[in-house]
Amino acid sequence: MLNTITGLLAPKDLPAPFSVDYLVVAGGGSGGNYSGGGGGAGGLRCTVTATGGGGSLESALTLSVATNYSVTIGAGGGTTTSGTMKNNGNNSVFSTITSTGGGAGGGFFDPPVSNGNTGGSGGGAGIYANGTKGSGTPNQGYDGGDDSNDALANGGGGGAGAVGANATSLAAGNGGAGVATSITGTSVTYGGGGGGGRYTTTSVTVGSGGAGGGGNAGNLVAGDSGLPNTGGGGGAGSSVGTTAYQYGGGGGSGVVILRYPDTRTITIGAGLTGTESAASGGYKRATITAGTGNVSWA
């Protein structure tokens, strides 16, 4: 009821707050150049089925109608054709929730050593100067893998659901697996780490990307990029000795998926790319795949 003195709605007439579940996945890190470690997956935070880093499920947000809430979709760390690659993925944001971009894999000539970067999930270690694996962010993703002790193979990138595999004399590390969530109504896996590369002319196996969009390492060619809107880490490049240098793949972009009561309708603002699903099971879902802007509900 309208208050005739103030002209404002009485509290009992205001629309009730409502609950919003979310999946917020950041952009994945790039794979390491030349003979490098796999890129780490973007950090993953979720309120449905499972969340990243082995943490407890996140809590849904209580929101209000006719109020703007910020959204940013993190781009993957870009590939380069220069001597070094240290391109972490970019953060994704929904309201008060931020997921951290994945750590880049260590490249062969990264100074002073080919360490994997810290990120939502950590980048795999490169072999140059006995590089170290990158660390993941608690409750978002896992660490990358170590390189082999004989300087032949590199570690896999960490995934949102598992650590990147350590390399051995016979095989580079595979990327860590991602996390499956049913926030869309169907189980989909996000946040796989990138595969580690090799530095040899012998039959050392390169690393495969982790389930959830991680890129495969190149078999003496450039690594594959992580899949768009999964936060997958980029696969590493592989080299033949000190010639035929190859480059790591870029990280996959992130995504934000929102689930809310089917009595509400979302407005996806300027600067964002996204869609709203039809009502199903008492919910609607909005999937936002690119950009920065605001969302609101009526």
Per-residue confidence of the chain (298 residues) as pLDDT tens digits?
Answer: 434 444 444 455 568 999 999 999 999 999 998 889 999 999 999 999 999 999 999 999 999 999 999 999 999 998 766 555 579 999 999 999 999 999 999 988 766 668 999 999 999 999 887 789 999 999 999 999 999 988 889 999 999 999 999 999 899 999 999 999 999 999 999 999 999 999 876 678 999 999 999 999 998 888 999 999 999 999 998 887 656 678 899 999 999 999 999 999 999 999 999 999 999 999 999 999 999 999 999 9
pLDDT of residue 75: 98
pLDDT of residue 150: 84
Residue 256, in any domain of the structure = no
Residue 5, in any domain of the structure = no
| CB-side neighbour CA atoms (13 Å) of 86 | 12
Closest residue by Cα to residue 104 from 169, 168, 164: 164
Residue 2, in any domain of the structure = no
Closest residue by Cα to residue 142 from 113, 173, 170: 173
User: Domain count of the chain?
Assistant: 1
Residue 1, in any domain of the structure = no
Residue 10, in any domain of the structure = no
Tell me the two tokens of residue 91.
């953060």
Residue 210, in any domain of the structure = yes
Q: How does 207-242 read in b/e, with b if 16+ C-beta sit within 10 Å?
A: bbbbbbbbbbbbebebbbbbbbbbbbbbbbbbbeee
Q: Please report, as a single letter, which amino acid is at residue 134.
A: G
Structural domain for 189, as ranges: 18-251+261-298
Q: What residues does 142 pair with on adjacent strands?
A: none
Q: What is the rounded distance in angstroms from the CA atom of residue 276 to the CA atom of residue 182?
A: 16
Residue 3, in any domain of the structure = no
Q: What is the rounded distance in angstroms from the CA atom of residue 129 to the CA atom of residue 115?
A: 9
pTM check: above 0.75: yes
Residue 136, in any domain of the structure = yes
pLDDT of residue 49: 97
